[in-house]
Amino acid sequence: MLDEIIAAAIAAGEAILEIYRQADFGARVKGDGSPVTEADARAEAIILEALAKAAPGVPVVAEEAVAAGHIPICGQRFFLVDPLDGTKEFLNRNGDFTVNIALIEDGAPVLGVVYTPAHGDVFVGEAGKGARRARYEDGRIGEWRPVTVRQRPAEGLDVVASRSHLSQETKDFIDRFPVAEMVSAGSSLKFCRVAAGEADLYPRLSRTMEWDTAAGDAVLRAAGGRVVTLDGRPLTYGKQDQVEDSAFANPWFVACGPFDPLTEPA
37 labeled binding residue: no
The pLDDT, as a whole number, for residue 153 is 92
82 is in an annotated binding site: yes
Q: Within a domain: residue 263?
A: no
Q: Cα(2)–Cα(219) distance, rounded to whole angstroms? A: 13
β-strand pairing of 253-256 with 201-204 = antiparallel
Q: Clarify whether residues 59 and 6 are in a common domain.
A: yes
Task: Let me know if residue 266 belongs to a domain.
Answer: no
Please state, as a whole number, how many other Cβ atoms lie within 10 Å of the Cβ of residue 68.
12
At which of 101, 116, 147 does a domain end?
A: 147
141 and 165 in a single domain? The answer is no
Say whether 232 counts as a known binding-site residue: no
Within a domain: 152: no
* pLDDT by 10-residue block (mean), the chain, 266 residues: 97 95 68 70 96 97 93 92 90 91 98 97 98 96 98 92 82 93 90 97 95 98 97 95 88 95 80
Give the C-alpha separation, 51 to 60, whole Å.
Answer: 8
The reply to whether 6 and 129 lie within a common domain is: yes
Residue 119 forms part of a structural domain: yes
Q: 19 and 100: one domain?
A: yes
| CATH code of 109's domain | 3.30.540.10
CB proximity list for 222: less than 8 A, separation 6 or greater: 112, 125, 126, 127, 129, 130, 131, 195
Same domain, 111 and 12: yes
Q: Is 178 inside any structural domain?
A: yes
Looking at the structure, tell me whether residues 125 and 163 fall in a common domain. no
What values do phi and psi take at 195, rounded to 5? Answer: -60, -35
51 annotated ligand-binding residue: no
pTM: 0.94
* Residue 223 within a domain: yes
- Residue 241 assigned to a binding site: no
- Whether residue 264 is annotated as binding a ligand: the answer is no
Do the beta carbons of residue 255 and residue 220 sit within 8 Å? yes
96 near 187, Cβ under 8 Å?
Answer: yes
- Residue 168 sits in which domain range? 157-256
Is 265 part of any domain?
no
CATH of the domain at 173: 3.40.190.80
Please indicate if the annotation marks 84 as binding a ligand.
yes
Q: State the pLDDT at residue 220.
A: 98
